[in-house]
């Protein structure tokens, strides 16, 4: 592992993060006046949308001195943010310790371990909230030893999307985007991107997406009515709220593989299902629309899960 050097702190662009492709999704029932597009976030070096906020939180803390070379990065994660922390730690030279639900998929666990992250496995029934509580318990035991980014409450999370994802969508759609659809986990992607798009396009409709029940299989998403609500969440940004079932999201992911040649994770399937729902409603109303969503990661991280063989 390299030695962390605050005098040589890179930028997000130096790390190769962002400027991900915008892919068009076609369906036979959608007229040409209604478009659906999605950001392919698996192109980021860590393989997910979480590279954006993770790098922003780490680099901001290094620049301010809140994260010092003697400290270990500690946070909770359901997988992708942890992977982003882990590869950043390997590249920049800091140790990483993560509280992770024991139900994490084998592929994501192997990636974390390959990067050298230390994992504290938590009760799978408590999900991401249980992992968050464990990270805070560890922090309380020795606060001087850790830098705790606290992805759920850190404003650098959503600012990363305000400064990168939002402007990219505007450029890639030539400013014609009419709807932005995204799932809520930490809520950073939705808040930052929607805020930036609404500034540029005051008529834009932002649609948030959540699982339809507390017990769900949509990794990375939260059922906010029954979960700890992230401190960065801004519910006022959503013009509409949609819920997606685990089965619907998985079916959308399987359809994307067979109809579009795209491997999506469960949250990408949920975002696609919701975006198509929005697009079809606009088509039925006879309105033109450019609907943009986010594919947070690749389905390659979930191929060991049984649902791929269903349907």
Q: Which residues are catalytic?
A: 50, 267
Alpha-carbon gap, residue 301 to 48, rounded angstroms = 10
Cα–Cα distances in angstroms (integers) from residue 278 to residues 21, 39, 275, 293, in the given order: 21, 17, 5, 11
CB 22 within 8 A of CB 172: yes
- State the helix-helix crossing angle for 51-64 and 80-92, rounded to 10 degrees: 50
Partner residues linked to 34 by β-bridges:
289
118-126 long-range Cβ contacts below 8 angstroms, 24+ apart: 126/101
- Residue 127: left if φ>0, alpha if ψ -120 to 50, beta else—which one? left
Alpha-carbon gap, residue 174 to 135, rounded angstroms = 42
Name the DSSP class of 297.
B
Residue entry with tokens 């730690």 = 89
Alpha-carbon gap, residue 268 to 266, rounded angstroms = 5
């Amino acid at each position: 592992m390299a030695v962390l050097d605050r005098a040589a702190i890179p930028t997000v662009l130096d790390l190769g993060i962002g400027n991900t492709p915008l892919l068009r999704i076609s369906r036979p029932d959608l007229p040409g006046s209604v478009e659906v597009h999605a950001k392919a976030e698996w192109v980021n070096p860590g393989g997910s949308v979480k590279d954006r906020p993770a790098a922003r939180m780490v680099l901001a803390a290094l620049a301010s001195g809140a994260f010092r070379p003697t400290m270990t990065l500690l946070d909770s994660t359901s997988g992708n943010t942890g992977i982003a922390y882990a590869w950043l730690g390997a590249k920049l030279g800091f140790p990483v310790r993560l509280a992770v639900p024991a139900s994490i998929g084998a592929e994501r666990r192997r990636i974390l371990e390959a990067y050298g992250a230390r994992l504290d496995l938590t009760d799978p029934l408590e999900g991401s909230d249980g992992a968050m509580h464990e990270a805070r318990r560890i922090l309380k035991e020795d606060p001087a030893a850790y830098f705790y980014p606290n992805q759920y409450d850190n404003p650098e999370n959503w600012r990363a999307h305000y400064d990168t994802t939002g402007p990219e969508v505007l450029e890639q759609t030539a400013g014609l985007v009419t709807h932005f659809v995204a799932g809520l986990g930490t809520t950073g992607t939705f808040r930052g991107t929607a805020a930036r798009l609404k500034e540029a396009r005051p008529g834009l409709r932002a649609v948030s997406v959540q699982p339809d029940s507390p017990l769900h299989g949509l990794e990375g998403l939260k059922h906010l009515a029954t979960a700890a609500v992230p401190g960065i969440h801004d519910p006022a940004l959503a013009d509409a709220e949609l819920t997606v079932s685990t089965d619907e999201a998985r079916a959308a992911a399987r359809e994307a593989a067979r109809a579009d040649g795209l491997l999506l994770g469960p949250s990408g399937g949920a975002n696609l299902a919701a975006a198509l729902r929005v697009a079809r409603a606009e088509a039925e109303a006879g309105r033109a629309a450019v609907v943009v969503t986010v594919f947070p990661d690749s389905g390659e991280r979930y191929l060991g899960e049984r649902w791929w063989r269903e349907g």
